[in-house]
Homo-oligomer: A and B are copies of this chain.
């Protein structure tokens, strides 16, 4: 038995996005209970030149759908990046999960050496599938999920690491 590229990507991402969805629900309940304008949390950030909560969720989902699509060698679904409410962010997370679940193991397995190109503002980044997954896509995904979590914690939401890690 060895790990497959599919096992190390899609179910891992789907699981964490489910945890993120549960955290979003808690944030909505918290804002309602404390009469916090949702915008305060959606625009929350940890430093003036860091990205907002909304952008963290957008990039976390971009990272997840980009990972699945690139390893499967299919087009990355485009989202509008116009979410302005928790409800719309939830819908984005749900769309991302649905896309990932549409990918079949046989599309992704064997992608260890597949050429992956990430467009950036400067020159595109080139990877092989395996280092792309392990050294770029997953750490980047976790970075944005954790930062989103941290913004909510910083703003008083009562969540703990088990919300992030999810039930077993």
Interface residues of A in 102-150 (CB under 8 A from B): 109-110, 112-113, 125, 127, 130, 134-136, 138-140, 142-143, 146-147, 149-150
The answer to the question of A39 belonging to the interface, with a C-beta cut-off of 8 Å to chain B, is: no
Interface residues of A (CB under 8 A from B): 1-5, 7-8, 11-12, 15-16, 46-47, 50, 109-110, 112-113, 125, 127, 130, 134-136, 138-140, 142-143, 146-147, 149-150, 153-154, 156, 161, 164-166, 168
Number of copies: 2
Contact B112 A3 (CB under 8 A): yes
A112-B1, A134-B12 given; A46·B168 CB < 8 A = no
